[in-house]
Amino acid sequence: MQERTFQSQPDLLVDRTSGDLRTEEMLINMGPQHPSTHGVLRLMLRTDGEIVMEAIPHIGYLHRCAEKIGENVTPVQFIPITDRLDYLAAMNNNHGYALAIERLCGIEVPERARYIRVIMCELNRIASHLVSFGCYGLDMGAFTPFLYAFREREYILDLLESASGARLTYSYLSIGGATQDLPEDFVDKLRLFLDYFEPKIDEYNQLLSFNYIFVKRTAGVGVIPAADAIAYGLTGPCLRGSGVKWDLRRCIPYEIYDRFEFDIPVGVAGGSDGMPREVVVGDSWNRYFVRVLEMKQSVRILRQAADQLPAGEFRGKFPKVLKLPAKDIYLEVEGARGQLGYYVQGDGKVNPRRVKIRGPSFCNLSIVPRVCRNVLLADVAAIVGSIDVVMGEVDR
C-alpha cells in the first residue's frame, strides 16, 4: 500500500524571506440550513480570516408563486395564501389584502369588524416581535429569553385560536371584515393578558436588552445611517431603528388607527434616557430595541380598542360572486416587519388580472451587502438577526 503524506501549506501563504504569514480569501456558505439565517436564506460570505469582506444573499428556496396564484383564484380564495407570506404575522397579511380588495370594489366594512381587525393585527404584531426577541437572544448566545418569549406568545396564540380556530395561519381577516365574531369572553381574556404581559417587557429589558454581553455584541454593530435606510427602501423597525420616525399607522392612517393614541419608537444615541453608552443610532441594538418598545405601544392600542369595541356586525355585505372592476389599486399596511403592499388590477372578472406583493423583508434584506462589509464573522449573525427577515415574505 502506498504511504499517504500530508503536504505543507502552499508557499504563497508564507513569505520565506521575512517569515510573515499572509492570508488568503475564502468563500463560505452561511445557510440555507444555518439557524442564524432564520429560514432558508443563503449568504455567500467572502472572508479574509475572521473579517467578512462581502456578503451576498441568495434567495428563492421558498418561492411558491404566490402572485401567480393570486391571479388564478378569487380574492376570498387568496386569503389563505397571504397567511403564508409573513407566517409569524399572518393577520397583518390578511388585513392588507382584504383592505386592497375592499378599496378596489367599494365594500363597506362595519365598525365592529374594523376594531376586530386592529385587535388581531396588534396581538399578532406582539407575537411576531416576541419571536424576534427570543430568537435574537438565542443568536447572541442567550437561551433564557427564548423561553420567556415563547411562554408569553402562547397566551396570544390561545386568544387568536379562540377567535379563528388556528394558531399560525388564520385566514381570519377576510373580505368585508372577519370570518366570524369574537367569542363572548374574548375581551375579558384580552384585558387579563395585557395586565399580565405589560410588566414582562421590563423583565425582558433586565434580562437581555441591558445585558452587558448582549450590548457588547450588538451596540455599534451594523450601523445603517438614515440616508442609507431610506435609499435601500427599508421600512418598519429597520427604518425606525435608524432614527426615522415613520409608521403608516400614524403617518398615513388606515382602518381606524387615527382614533388611538400611541407613539412611534425610534433609534436613540447612547447615554440618552438611560441607554447604554456604546449604542449608536441605526445599529443592531437599536433595531432590536425598537421592537421591544413597539410591544408596549401595541399594548396601548389594544387597551383602547378593547374599551371602544362597539356592538354590531362582524362582516359587511358584498356579492357572493365578486367581480373586480376594470381598474387597479396599490395599498400598504404597517406589517410587523415594515410596509406590506398589495397591487391588484381588475378587468371585470372574478379573478384579478395582476397581483403584486411588496414584501418588507425582501426590501430590508437588500441592505445586507452594504452593511455586512468589513465586519467580524460573528457580527454577521448579529446584523442579519437584527434585520429580522421572514423568508416566506422574501421569496413569496
- C-beta of residue 71 within 8 angstroms of C-beta of residue 352: yes
Among 185, 75, 179, 167, smallest CA distance to 117 is for 179
Give me the pLDDT at residue 18, please.
56
- C-beta of residue 98 within 8 angstroms of C-beta of residue 121: no
Within 10 angstroms of residue 287's Cβ, the number of other Cβ atoms is: 30
Please give the DSSP secondary-structure letter assigned to residue 233: T
Per DSSP, which regions of the chain are E strands? Answer: 26-30, 42-48, 51-58, 173-174, 177-178, 328-335, 338-345, 354-358, 375-376
Give the pairing type, strands 354-358 and 338-345.
Answer: antiparallel
Give me the pLDDT at residue 20, please.
64
CATH annotation of 66-355 = 1.10.645.10
- The yes-or-no verdict on residue 10 having pLDDT over 70 is no
Give me the pLDDT at residue 22, please.
64
Please report which confidence band the pLDDT of residue 303 belongs to, taking 50, 70 and 90 as the band edges.
Answer: very high
Residue 355 in grid coordinates = 397581483
Within 10 angstroms of residue 201's Cβ, the number of other Cβ atoms is: 17
When the pLDDT of each residue in the chain is averaged and rounded to a whole number, the result is 89
- The yes-or-no verdict on residue 392 having pLDDT over 70 is yes
The stretch 257-286 carries a mean pLDDT of: 87
pLDDT digit string (tens) for 34-71? 777 778 889 999 988 888 999 999 998 889 899 999 99
57 beta partners: 43
Please report which confidence band the pLDDT of residue 370 belongs to, taking 50, 70 and 90 as the band edges.
Answer: very high
Give me the pLDDT at residue 4, please.
40
pLDDT digit string (tens) for 63-121? 989 999 999 999 999 999 999 998 999 999 999 999 999 999 999 999 999 999 999 99
126's CB contacts (< 8 A; 6+ apart) are 156, 197, 295, 298, 299
Give me the residue spans of the domains in the chain.
Answer: 66-355
CA angle 380, 381, 383 (to 5 degrees): 65
